[in-house]
Amino acid sequence: MGRPLLIGLTSPYFGAVFGGGEKYLGVTAEAVRDGFPGNVVEIAGAVPADRERYEATLNLDLHGIQLVANNRRVTPVHRLANRLTPLRPLRNRVLASQAARATARYDVHLAMAYRIPVHTRAQRTAILCQFPYASREGVAEFERVICQSEYVRHWVRELWGRDAAVVHPPVDLPAGGPEAAAKRPLILSVGRFFEGGHSKRHEVMVEAFRGLCEDGLEGWQLHLVGSVHEEGPHAGYFERVKARARGYPIRIHTDLSHQDLEDLYRSASVYWHAAGFGAEGGPPEALEHFGLTVAEAMAHATVPVVYPGGGVAEVVHDKEDGFHWRDPRELAEVTLRLVADADLRRRVGAEAWRSARRFGRAEFKRRMLEALRPLVEPASGE
């Protein structure tokens, strides 16, 4: 055998963001560590990452994986560049340049890509594409593209002129079958509080639930869960959502541990998802790229009621393992049907539980290793 490979996974967001993209990157690192043993695996971000917080929040196992950063700390200059929208393109180029310089030492480089362009100086390379940014800058430097849904794959072809392998994001499957007895009169939605892009549209859900309460709904609660983005274009968004929720049975949770979130998934009877509403006909990245939290809810037999824009239509099949809605009136009507019919909730919830099996973590790792083997195995022999 040759020397151990240095396999680097990079993301400008790892260390600062706790979302689906970071979980995708972290579980990919787990798969590489376990599937290609004897090599050195490293996750590199723009700022230092809190290992314990990432493991607790995203249910990651990062033992044996090195965490490095291109900057020692977040400085006032970094915060200013993030806050001032006109400076963001410059900030993005600085981050991309920093990341590219560090990749020359990698034998295999896996770059997470969304809005910030990616470059590489490594020999064997792949892009883990959350969504293809409009520019093709840097894309030709990479051998392979791996993405998270057929929706994203379509736009990789349209915008980058490349094909991609689809590896759906990993879902943590609870042990045992559906727990109907654990369900409570609770509607859940999970997603980061931010403005623009593929915003989770919390304000739409708050208004819909307020309307249900004003029309007589009693005994049910809406729980909104997510980390908060407060700088730049996101400033004020979270406070506006909180203000509209005040006085109603709406509970907002920020930065829950993985275990606390699992408890909410287990207790919730209905799951709401509104990302993409009002964005049809606009930038394609404004629609849901996959819908990881939807699949996580389904894994707990929680009935998903979703706006089917983008990749979430691949996750939920209307009137089979969940329901689609196209306007808030339909969201309210479907929800009232579920509130009134416990047997319907049980039947569709059980089907959602079965459907979610296709997104389990073990299946994710199998498919990811299959996609990466053509890069890693030849590198091992070089």
Are the C-beta atoms of 62 and 54 separated by less than 8 Å? yes
- Tokens describing residue 217: 């709904």
In tens, the pLDDT along 233-283 reads: 556 788 899 999 999 999 999 978 889 999 999 999 999 999 999 888 888
Q: Which of 88, 12, 22, 102 is nearest to 55 (CA)?
A: 22
Q: Could you tell me what percentage of the chain is helix, strand and coil, using 3-state DSSP and rounding each to the nearest 5?
A: 45, 20, 40
Q: What is the pTM of this model?
A: 0.86
Amino acid at 172: D
Domain 180-359 in the same topology as domain 6-170+360-380 = yes
pLDDT at 231 (0 to 100): 57
pLDDT above 90: residue 1: no
* Residue 208 to residue 102: CA distance in whole angstroms: 48
Q: Which band of pLDDT confidence, cut at 50, 70 and 90, is reported for residue 351?
A: very high
Are the C-beta atoms of 224 and 254 separated by less than 8 Å? no
Could you tell me which residues are beta bridge partners of residue 128? 112, 146
Q: Assign a CATH topology to domain 6-170+360-380.
A: Rossmann fold (3.40.50)
Residue 215: how many CB atoms within 10 A of its CB? 9
Q: Where is average pLDDT lowest: 124-128, 156-160, 179-183, 225-229?
A: 225-229
In tens, the pLDDT along 291-324 reads: 999 999 999 999 999 999 999 999 999 999 999 9
* Residue 347 to residue 363: CA distance in whole angstroms: 25
Which strands make up the sheet holding 221-225, listed edge to edge? 250-253, 221-225, 186-190, 270-273, 303-306, 323-324
Q: What angle do CA 83, 288, 54 make, to 5 degrees?
A: 60
Q: Assign a CATH topology to domain 180-359.
A: Rossmann fold (3.40.50)
Q: Where are the domains of the chain?
A: 6-170+360-380, 180-359
